[in-house]
Amino acid sequence: MGITETGNGQHESGVGEVVAERRQLTNIAYRLLGSLADAEDAVQEAYARWYAMTPGERAAIASPGAWLTTVTSRVCLNVLGSARARRERYVGDWIPEPVPDGAEWGAGRGGAVDPAERVTLDESVGMAFLVVLDAMTPAERVAFVLHDVFRYPFGEVARIVGRTPAACRQLASSARRRIHAAAPPVPPRDEQAAVLREFKQAWEAKDIAGLVGLLDPEATAITDGGGLVQAVGEPVVGGAQIANACVRLAEQVELTLLERTVNGQPGLVSVQDGVTVAVLAFEIADGRIRRIWSVRNPEKLRAWAR
């Protein structure tokens, strides 16, 4: 996926070209921040700075697309720098905000969602991938995402992160090793879908044995409620423990489980009284579920509004 550089020196008459960069910028910002809300804010800030310039200043910029990408990335870098303090105040475990596919994208804040603000789904938005990115230093994350995902040259990355091109190359290499070590190969989509369909059926049937058979013995389930809804405070570890927790929940609350695409991979959406109350992403390896990420924080579910 390459960075789109728009502009031909006649920028004031090419407003449409500048606006057309929004989707690319949103895609970059979401991968850097793991939050749609923060990504939208970062992109909005970049556009605010663009339009705050005089027409002459804008006309002097050879590539508005590259300029907007640089500003957006720097805003994201600043946000990432303060993320540690923000996470310390966050209640419970923090999970990246899940995104649906285009057909499932909800109305969010009450109006139609602009296609330009939708995130393009590929392997670089998989939940396991984003979780590994979240553990990196801000500089590592920016260098890796811009270069390895969006093919931005190291010279441009260096200007954004304030390092030398050689240092950025090392940052991206370090991040790449982390990705390869922590994120297993993604199984074929139909294989994942088949496992999740069986998991959904066993969950609905309150079949503990069936659930245990589909879960890795060392599986982990993490829930993000953000302190706004009831959620398990600590990760649930162990296939049997997760199976029992699923059955207890099914006995206590009447939920409808829907098979949906979550961050480009098969996942589940939990609906109660017509309202999406949880979005579940999974990591599957060797035909079994190894990780479950359950997002219940309503502030992270606005894209799933039905």
From the list 72, 92, 84, 90, the residue with the least C-alpha distance to 29 is 72
**CA gap 91, 25 in Å, rounded:** 29
Q: CB within 8 A of 46, min separation 6: which ones?
A: 25, 68, 71, 72, 75
In the chain, residues under CATH classification 3.10.450.50 are 189-304
CATH classification (class only), 15-113+121-182: mainly alpha
User: Could you give the C-alpha distances from 108 to 83, 98, 99, 104, in angstroms and in order?
Assistant: 24, 13, 12, 11
Show the CA angle centred on residue 27, arms to residues 90 and 138, nearest 5°: 50
* CATH number of the domain located at residue range(s) 189-304 in this protein: 3.10.450.50
pTM of the predicted model, to two decimals? 0.87
List where CATH 1.20.140.160 sits in the chain: 15-113+121-182
- Scanning 146-188, the segments in alpha helix (DSSP H) are 154-161, 165-182
pLDDT tens, the chain, 306 aa long = 333 333 333 344 457 778 889 999 999 999 999 999 999 999 999 999 999 999 999 999 999 999 999 999 999 999 998 877 677 788 889 999 999 986 665 544 444 455 555 688 778 889 999 999 999 999 999 999 999 999 999 999 999 999 999 999 999 999 999 998 887 788 999 999 999 999 999 999 999 999 999 999 999 999 999 888 877 778 999 999 999 999 999 999 999 999 999 999 999 999 999 999 999 999 999 999 999 999 999 999 999 986
